[in-house]
Amino acid sequence: MRDAARIDDVRAAVADARKQRRTIGFVPTMGALHEGHLSLIRLARQRADYVVLSVFVNPVQFGPGEDFETYPRAAKSDLEVALDAGVDLYFSPSVAEMYPEGFATIVRVEALSAPLCGAGRPGHFDGVALVVTKLLNIVRPDFSVFGQKDAQQAILVQRLARDLNLPGEIVVAPTVRDADGLALSSRNRYLTADEREASLALSRGLREVEAAYREASSRLCWR
């Protein structure tokens, strides 16, 4: 596995892989890798000859008072996990590499950025759109894999890629859950035991809605 921190090195490595007619799969992450990330890497590994993984805690998607400084970081273990998972190129840029002095560009996906998570975190999705635009233009993959857990983000990225003709297909992979039903997330480590138990109400509710829908559908089919 090659470890790169500079954009030019990533482009050179990907160019070499393309010369060998290798298909490029890309998995962008913010690190603190867990089984959910591994499921994305495995999917990329199944479909691609050459897998690029990025680990970058993107400051511009964090608002004032949010957890940018304390967001889980695990550089050493992330490298080990990526190596074991069969990643070919591990890209871990610095903030200065991604946003050099004088950086002044904003990327916004209107309408999709405003509701739901966007309403409570103004500017969050602008930061997501910006970093995804940069990463896809740096790597220029044949496809990129995003998790369905961040549903609004996945929809926004699909629209962003379509509207800006960004390189590669956007693949959305299923959510991976713990045994108790909680969707895997690097931020789960913030939860107390009581908070974790309370958070399970969401997955339970979703399953109950799904079960009710399936039951209602089956009844309609028999009429």
For residues 157-173, give the mean pLDDT.
Answer: 98
Residues 212 and 102 in one domain: no
Q: Which domain, by its residues, includes 222?
A: 191-223
Report the pLDDT value the prediction gives residue 221, as an integer from 0 to 100: 63
For residue 183, being part of any structural domain is answered with no
Report the pLDDT value the prediction gives residue 42, as an integer from 0 to 100: 97
Instruction: Please report how the helices 75-85 and 35-47 are oriented relative to each other, as an axis angle in degrees rounded to 10.
Output: 40
- CB contact set of 150 (below 8 Å; sequence gap of 6+): none
Burial class (CB in 10 A: 0-12, 13-18, 19+), 65: exposed
Q: What percent of the chain has pLDDT over 70?
A: 97
Cβ atoms within 10 Å of 186's Cβ, excluding its own: 19
Residues 6 and 98 in one domain: yes
Number of domains in the chain: 2
Report the pLDDT value the prediction gives residue 207, as an integer from 0 to 100: 81
163, 60, 40, 16: CA torsion to nearest 10: 80
For residue 9, being part of any structural domain is answered with yes
For residue 196, being part of any structural domain is answered with yes
- CATH code (residue 85): 3.40.50.620
Residues 129 and 51 in one domain: yes
Burial state string for 99-121 with b = 16 or more CB within 10 A and e = fewer than 16: beeeeeeebebeebbeeeebeee
Residues 74 and 153 in one domain: yes
Number of H helices, E strands in the chain: 8, 6
Residue numbers annotated as active site: 37
Q: In sequence order, what E strands does 30-113 have?
A: 50-55, 89-91
**Which residue from 110, 24, 97 is spatially nearest to 56, judged by alpha carbons?**
97
For residue 186, being part of any structural domain is answered with no
For residue 184, being part of any structural domain is answered with no
For residue 51, being part of any structural domain is answered with yes
What's the length of the chain? 223
How far is 10 from 56, CA to CA, in rounded Å?
Answer: 14
> pLDDT tens, 42-62?
999 999 999 999 999 999 999
Report the pLDDT value the prediction gives residue 192, as an integer from 0 to 100: 79
Q: Confidence band (pLDDT; 50, 70, 90) for 213?
A: confident
